[in-house]
């Protein structure tokens, strides 16, 4: 792995910053949006990057994906892009703590970064984190599931990596929603590590084979978990088990249309990329984060912004895209005044 040395990065950055002409307008900026690795969740970032560049007159907004989910590959991508003269970065942290090293180097060389889709752990030099409020999303999803179940029965939570802080918050949210039924609904099981195709297939299908008759409802809080569960229920021909997923994969949406899925919690990855690029352009142009900005405090960071969520069901399956666009437009329109001093 030919990763630029830390000292080498600092020298390259210093050279590129010193030799580059000062940008008179924000449109001179070159921005990178990069996830931690390949995943369908981030696909809308590519269009968001193109739209932000066009709508806000930014010189370049590029979507760059590491070939694998390895922090060193993301670090190498960020380092090499910075050395090439890119002026701001929107990053989904490949590691919530490990990412802070390269982020600190970027800041020391006058290059701002923000966390998008997932947060870096404080203390961090990320200007802010814009992502889904995963606790609220899982809580609302579970409440919707309980309603679809008629307010009683046994629930299974299909969760992501149990060591992930986001998963911990989602588990807590599901447990809270279930507890509020005062025993009418019970949590039969939390099945972790299902947001992976191989493990998800194995664990979810094994669960249904062994306990299908005991399950009244399932909630999945991972993209792949949702697709696998929707597929499994369709293959079983089972519409009795109520299911709420997350994200808007075609398989999940088709499940809603055909009655195998009660709903899915939409996230707003497009909005994260679009507003993230807009904010990075302003930050690279000299704006700063307001000291009194109305951030949300989370276990990971004191500078969290909720990018929005909503339930997709049979009632709004053909219009939810417009709802997300409206939400994104509202967030963008008020963002500068709320969060930045320019």
pLDDT, tens digit (0-9, with 9 covering 90-100), for 99-132? 999 999 999 999 999 999 999 999 999 999 999 9
For residue 212, the 8-state DSSP code is: G
Peptide bond into 123 cis (omega under 30): yes
88 has pLDDT over 90: yes
Q: Calculate the average pLDDT of the chain.
A: 91
Peptide bond into 249 cis (omega under 30): no
What are the φ and ψ backbone dihedral angles of 300, each rounded to 5 degrees?
Answer: -95, -40
Q: Which CATH number fits domain 16-132+268-308+318-341: 3.30.460.10, 3.10.450.50, 3.40.50.300, 3.40.50.2300?
A: 3.40.50.2300
CATH 3.40.50.2300 residue ranges in the chain?
Answer: 16-132+268-308+318-341, 134-266
Task: Give the integer Cα–Cα distance in Å for 170 and 81.
Answer: 34
Residues in the chain: 342
Q: What is the mean pLDDT of residues 204-227?
A: 96
Token match 């707003």: residue?
Answer: 268
Q: 134-266 has which CATH code?
A: 3.40.50.2300
Asked whether the beta carbons of 133 and 195 are under 8 A apart, the reply is no
Tokens of residue 8, six digits: 């080498």
Q: What digits encode the pLDDT tens for the residues 151-200? A: 999 999 999 977 677 888 899 999 999 999 999 999 999 999 998 889 99
Task: Give the integer Cα–Cα distance in Å for 213 and 198.
Answer: 24
Strand blocks (E) in 92-241: 113-116, 129-131, 153-158, 185-191, 217-220
10 has pLDDT over 60: no
Task: Give the integer Cα–Cα distance in Å for 275 and 266.
Answer: 17
Q: What digits encode the pLDDT tens for the residues 264-296? A: 999 999 999 999 999 999 999 999 999 999 999
């Amino acid at each position: 792995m030919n990763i630029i040395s830390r000292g080498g990065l600092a020298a390259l950055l210093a050279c590129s910053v010193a030799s580059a002409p000062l940008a008179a307008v924000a449109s001179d900026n070159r921005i990178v949006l990069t996830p931690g690795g390949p995943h369908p969740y981030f696909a809308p970032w590519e269009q968001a990057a193109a739209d932000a560049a066009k709508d806000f007159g930014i010189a370049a907004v590029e979507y760059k994906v590491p070939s694998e989910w390895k922090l060193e590959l993301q670090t190498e991508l960020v380092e090499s892009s910075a050395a090439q003269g890119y002026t701001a970065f929107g990053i989904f942290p490949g590691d919530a703590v490990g990412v802070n090293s390269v982020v600190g180097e970027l800041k020391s060389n006058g290059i701002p970064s923000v966390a998008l889709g997932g947060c870096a752990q404080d203390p961090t030099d990320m200007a802010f984190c814009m992502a889904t409020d995963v606790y609220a999303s899982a809580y609302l999803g579970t409440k919707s599931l309980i309603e679809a179940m008629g307010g009683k029965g046994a629930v299974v939570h299909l969760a992501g990596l149990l060591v992930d802080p986001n998963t911990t918050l989602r588990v807590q949210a599901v447990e809270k929603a279930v507890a509020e039924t005062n025993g009418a609904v019970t949590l039969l099981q939390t099945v972790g590590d299902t947001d992976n195709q191989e493990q998800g297939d194995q664990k979810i299908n094994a669960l249904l084979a062994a306990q299908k008759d005991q399950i009244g409802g399932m909630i999945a809080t991972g993209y792949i978990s949702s697709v696998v569960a929707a597929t499994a229920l369709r293959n079983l021909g089972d519409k009795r088990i109520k299911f709420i997923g997350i994200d808007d994969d075609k398989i999940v949406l088709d499940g809603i249309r055909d009655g195998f899925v009660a709903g899915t919690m939409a996230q707003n990855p497009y909005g994260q990329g679009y507003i993230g690029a807009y904010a990075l352009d302003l930050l690279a142009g000299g704006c700063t984060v307001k000291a009194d900005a109305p951030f949300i405090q989370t276990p990971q960071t004191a500078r969290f912004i909720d990018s929005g969520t909503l339930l997709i069901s049979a009632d709004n399956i053909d219009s939810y895209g417009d709802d997300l666009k409206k939400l994104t437009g509202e967030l963008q329109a008020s963002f500068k005044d709320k969060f930045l001093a320019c």
